[in-house]
A and B are shown apart, each in its own frame.
Chain A
């Protein structure tokens, strides 16, 4: 009797407390975002800047700390706390969304967040990044793109836009570059000044390197789930296909152009021209000099140069094409978004974004990390990057690719990660584990289409 009474009490307590604290059941309707006032001269604000660059020691963290210090000097009333995303992935860039999400759940999001373009749909539509056009005015946003002296590259300006509104300011990105080891090329009897320009040539060169030097041939860093799909999209676009239809309504990654791309890559693995490596293993082994070629973002260039040292020489070429077709590079990287709730912090956040995308900041970022200076005019400025560009032979192919640049498309809907991961897993399964490309892509596309049409959440 007493026992049942106690149990009943406990049960009521549980039910009473369990419903609360999980999240709202009402639609999170927000009013239109209003224009934020300028900061008063004596107004002190502190903001938090979350960037995955702080999760990578060495050049990345140092460069960003340097920039933040310069910003605080320029804006003595704004203090910036820099933090890396919460989580412990080997690649902190994969923790960005989950970290932001848990902070949003807790009610205190960071003010400025650096998020990948692959998350754009989710960032705008689910996480509700603030539209900068409303926050500071379209004029101010465009004026920032135009810059004090050098405007953004035309193809880069709209990468953070959604339905004609700017939500994120494109910040750091690269196009896919074919880095190669000149010493291994020479050892294998290949011409180090004449890198392969098509995938067929890559395959032959890789095989030659593998056979004559015993080292790995070529690695394409966008065929695994961990690597995400940015340069896989470039490969598919270069072969005349798309992973998602232009109106964002249909998944098309199981169509012939994609299947063919996967088959070409699978053949390289089967022929021993591409070793089975994880992203991290491949980057490390290329830096060590154990791999002939790697298709990679210029963000890793610093690591490669450091690994090369005096022992071998790094070469860089544009992304190879498929026979007779124009190569279509896509951008990697991230844009800066604002999530602050407080007007003063929103204004301070915009000031930080303006500083980080200024001519001065790009000069630092390009020279110290290797990311593209999105204000491309800087490379012709003797006070800017001219000297550095002259000494840095790796920049030119990357800059040139901006002409044909197409955006890295984010997958649609709340289940976008499941779709993207599913697609990349199918690619990985075919390329490295020998599954049939057409079949594995098709089955995943079917499953993912279900997720897109509200079959999921």
Chain B
């Protein structure tokens, strides 16, 4: 749902307030000059706020409104006010609970690809010197540049049950994408392959931000390389890792969407239908705008809670190099 990123903007410093405080007491100031004094920072903000309202908050408010209506997205059909009916219906379907569980599985399955592998790769490529380092990083990052749908087509051939390379290498005859027990894992691995390069990039940037003096100091004290990694590098990397974990939790289900849409369409038998795909099916396959909006609102609130918990957790667990 929420794909934009929020940038925290520091409150504008009130220099003028401080500068004029001595000459004109606030109590005697006329209304107009008061406005003129206070307006500029808000005026600077207006363009950004207007865009934010138009593109983010207004649709959000519309979603809230829509979630109390029953409407099939056809302009000539009337919208019927059903109050909380959509929410009742949504919470009454067993499909929702299953989709939540599948989303959790996706998130857990994605964590190795967004945290564990990137850390290993970034630490290893750091030891490679010279041009080879760039080559390695480029190789790892390359899948990110492949369009998801194009990547999906290639994977489809690789996973083909009768002619696919995967089955030939493993000597199996599994229909990976059309078997309820393997489809979800196939999607996770393909999504992981796709985003691992991005995660490596983030970790590499995190490593570059760590002052090498710490490691040098530890080595002077006789710490081995693995000890330096364990007790110096990783703790200092923890804010980066927390960021990646947060991204994974909030965005995994969205990353899988194009792959699910091209490879399995939520199937077989809903085994790859996670929250986002379910929402999309309600809205744009069943044309049940109200139900989809209600689902959107619930996910929005749910993810706010999850995001708040994670940020708090991250703040507590992370070491900062202050």
Binding site for B on A (CB under 8 A): 2, 6, 10, 13-15, 17-19, 21-28, 30, 88-90, 97-98, 101-102, 104-105, 107, 126-128, 216, 224-226, 275-278, 281, 284-285, 288, 290, 414-415, 417-418, 421, 425, 428-429, 432-433, 435, 455-457
The residue that A418 contacts in the complex, of B64, B265, B269, B286, with Cβ under 8 A, is B286
Residue in B58, B73, B287, B291 whose Cβ sees the most chain A Cβ within 10 Å? B287
B158 beta carbon closer than 8 Å to chain A: no
Chain B 177-203 per-residue mask, 1 if CB under 8 angstroms from chain A, else 0: 111100000000000000000000000
Taking a contact as CB atoms closer than 8 A, the residue among B57, B62, B73 that contacts A21 in the complex is B62
**B 275-319 to A, binary, CB cutoff 8 A, 1 in contact else 0:** 000000000111110110000000000000000000000000000
B149 touches A (CB below 8 Å): yes
Q: Are A128 and B76 in contact (CB under 8 A)?
A: yes
How far, in Å, is A275 (CB) from chain B's closest CB?
A: 7
> Separation in Å of the B272 CB from the closest CB of chain A?
12
The smallest C-beta distance from B279 to any residue of chain A, in angstroms, reads 14
Q: Which residues of A contact B78 (CB under 8 A)?
A: 24-28
CB distance from A54 to the nearest CB of B (A): 19
B287: which A residues are within 8 A, CB to CB? Answer: 97-98, 101, 414, 417
How far, in angstroms, from A27 to B77 measured CA to CA in the complex? Answer: 6
A23 with B79: in contact, given A88-B262, A278-B177 (CB under 8 Å)? yes
CB <8 Å contact, A276 and B175: yes
A-B contact pairs, 6 of them (CB 8 A): A28-B77, A126-B77, A281-B160, A284-B160, A421-B285, A428-B268
**How many whole Å from A311's CB to the nearest CB in chain B?**
15
User: Is A17 a contact of B268 with CB atoms below 8 Å?
Assistant: no
Also in contact, A18 and B265, with CB within 8 A (given A28-B78, A414-B72, A421-B285): no
Asked if B265 and A457 make an inter-chain contact with CB atoms under 8 angstroms apart, the answer reads no
Q: CB-CB < 8 A to B75: which residues of A?
A: 23-24, 28, 104-105, 107
- A14–B89 touching, CB < 8 Å: no
Query: Do B262 and A90 touch across chains, with their CB atoms under 8 A apart?
Result: yes
Is B91 on the interface with A (CB-CB < 8 A)? no
Q: Which of A105, A224, A277, A428 contacts B175 (CB 8 A)?
A: A277
Interchain CB contact under 8 A, B89 and A456: yes
Contact flag A18-B79 (CB < 8 Å), given A88-B262, A101-B74, A285-B162: no
A18 touches B58 (CB 8 A): yes
User: Which B residues are CB-close (under 8 A) to A224?
Assistant: 267-268
State how many angstroms separate the Cβ of B147 from the closest Cβ of chain A.
11
B162 with A22: CB separation less than 8 A = no
Q: Does the CB pair B76–A89 fall under 8 Å?
A: no
Q: Does B162 contact A456, Cβ atoms closer than 8 Å? A: no
Q: Does B61 contact A (CB under 8 A)?
A: yes
* Smallest CB separation, B293 vs chain A (Å): 10
> Given the complex of chains A and B, what is the CA–CA distance between A276 and B175 in angstroms?
7
Would B58 and A23 count as touching, CB distance under 8 A? no
- B80 in the interface, Cβ–Cβ < 8 Å? yes
Q: Which residue of A lies closest to B66 (CB)?
A: A22
Using Cβ atoms and an 8 Å threshold, which residues of chain B touch A277? 161, 175, 178
Asked if residues B76 and A417 are in contact (CB atoms below 8 Å), the reply is no
Whether A457 and B80, one on each chain, are in contact in the complex, defined by CB atoms closer than 8 angstroms, is yes
B141 on the A face (CB < 8 A): no
Interface residues of B (CB under 8 A from A): 38, 42, 49, 53, 57-58, 61-62, 64-66, 69-80, 89, 149, 160-163, 175, 177-180, 261-262, 265, 267-270, 284-288, 290-291
Docked complex Cα distance between A127 and B284 (Å)? 15
Given A101-B74, A105-B73, A226-B267: A290 in contact with B261 (beta carbons within 8 A): no
* Docked-complex contact A30 and B76, CB < 8 angstroms: yes
Most buried by B among A2, A104, A433: A433
B residues within 8 A CB of A30? 76
Chain A residues with CB below 8 A from B179, complex form? 276
Give 5 A-B pairs besides A10-B49, A284-B160, A285-B161 with Cβ atoms closer than 8 angstroms.
A14-B53, A22-B66, A88-B261, A290-B163, A428-B269
Partner of A457, one of B62, B70, B284: B70
Partner of A24, one of B57, B66, B79: B79
Contact of A104 among B74, B89, B149, B291 (CB under 8 A): B74
Nearest-Cβ distance from residue B16 to partner chain A, whole angstroms: 15
The chain B residue sitting closest to A20, CB to CB, is B62
Residues on the A chain within 8 Å of B61, using CB: 14-15, 17-18
Given the interface contacts A10-B53, A14-B58, A288-B163, does A432 sit within 8 Å of B76 by beta carbon? no
Which residue on chain B has the smallest CB distance to residue A98? B284
Chain A contacts of B269 at CB under 8 A? Answer: 425, 428-429, 432-433, 435
CB-defined contacts of B66 to chain A, threshold 8 Å = 22
Contacts of A417 in B (CB 8 A): 285-287
Q: Tell me the minimal C-beta distance from B177 to chain A in angstroms.
A: 7
A90→B258 CA distance, assembly (Å): 12
Q: Which of the listed residues B57, B72, B149, B284 has the most CB atoms from chain A within 10 Å of its own CB?
A: B72
Q: How far is the CA of A456 from the CA of B162 in the complex (A)?
A: 42
Min CB distance, B10 to chain A, in Å?
A: 15
Residues A28 and B149 in contact in the complex (CB < 8 Å), given A281-B175, A415-B288, A428-B269: no
Q: Is A428 a contact of B163 with CB atoms below 8 Å?
A: no
